[in-house]
Amino acid sequence: MPLSADPVWFVTGCSTGFGRALAERVIARGWRVIATARGAGRVADLISLAPARVLAVDLDVTDAAQVAAAVAAANERFGRIDVLVNNAGYGYQSSIEEGDEAEICAQFDANVFGLFAMTRAVLPGMRAQRGGAIVNVTSVAGLVGFPASGYYAASKHAVEGFSDSLAAEVAPLGISVTCIEPGPFRTDWAGRSLKQTASTIADYADTAAARMAQTSGYSGQQPGDPIRAAEAMIDAVVREHPPRHFVLGRFGIDAVTERLRARLNEIEAQRAASLATDFPDGEG
């Protein structure tokens, strides 16, 4: 179902990066936005762009009370939420073997369980109005695994699987679900939103350790433009039929299509063996 002509956007993680760019572009289009961050002061400047159309809210998506309060504040101010953009989250790199349990759990709390909580919180309103859009910012890593990104990729794969089931449940209610899968974009993700556990095991020097070193030195050189990405995301969401998946950037397109083609070829190569695991026709 198409969105209303004056949609209300709720965007998590607006202090920098994609969230900031997206909030600014939504405001520029004349729409209303709830801009959230851990500390409302970090997004308070957005209010000056359109005081009547912007609500800045303090939100840690891992805090259930803050999630409920933020959604209540949005509904009190604007009466509805048409688009939820689950953007809050961060990266964590380590080799699988050397991953830190506390870091792994904290990342899942933000990237996965916080996103789940936000989605549950907005669904009653979207169901009641029989329309809306849920946009989950995952990553190319949600479709392709890379060395040093096992736990980050696992969090994004979890969101992809969740989104598949969510889409099947809410499509009859007029609610769309889109996963945004960016490749490398020129944000401060690597400098601000990336945590690492150094790899000291020599056997991972050419895989996990090498990729962590590459990622750390890549900030500011990424090919993707977050402003262009924000515009493309908005255009995709407001279509009559928003895409279920939207990969951003040449790196992402190349990596994802190569991986999916290889996976399909592998599945097809095992077709006979796979079909042979069923009971023969007429038996059982």
Phi and psi at 259, nearest 5°, equal -65, -40
Q: Which residues are the active-site residues?
A: 152
The answer on pLDDT for 167 being more than 90 is: yes
Task: Please state which of the ranges 126-135, 168-177, 220-229 shows the lowest mean pLDDT.
Answer: 220-229
Instruction: Answer yes or no: CATH 3.40.50.720 is held by domain 8-275.
Output: yes
- Determine whether 185 is exposed, middle or buried from the number of CB atoms within 10 Å of its CB (0-12, 13-18, 19+): buried
Mean pLDDT calculated for residue range 107-112: 97
C-alpha to C-alpha distance for 232 and 251, rounded to whole angstroms: 16
State pTM to two decimals: 0.93
Lowest mean pLDDT among 13-22, 51-60, 66-75, 269-278: 13-22
* Mean of pLDDT values over 135-147: 94
- pLDDT, tens digit, 9 for 90 and up, residues 45-82: 999 999 999 999 999 999 999 999 999 999 999 999 99
For the cut 60, the answer to whether the pLDDT of residue 189 exceeds it is no
- The pLDDT assigned to 3 comes to 79
Contact between 40 and 89 (Cβ < 8 Å):
no
Break the chain into its structural domains and give their ranges. 8-275
- Return the percentage of the chain with pLDDT > 90, whole number: 83
Which burial class, exposed, middle or buried, applies to 236 when counting CB atoms under 10 A from its CB (0-12, 13-18, 19+)? middle
Neighbours of 3 (CB within 10 A): 20
Which tens digit of pLDDT belongs to each residue from 253-264?
999 999 999 999
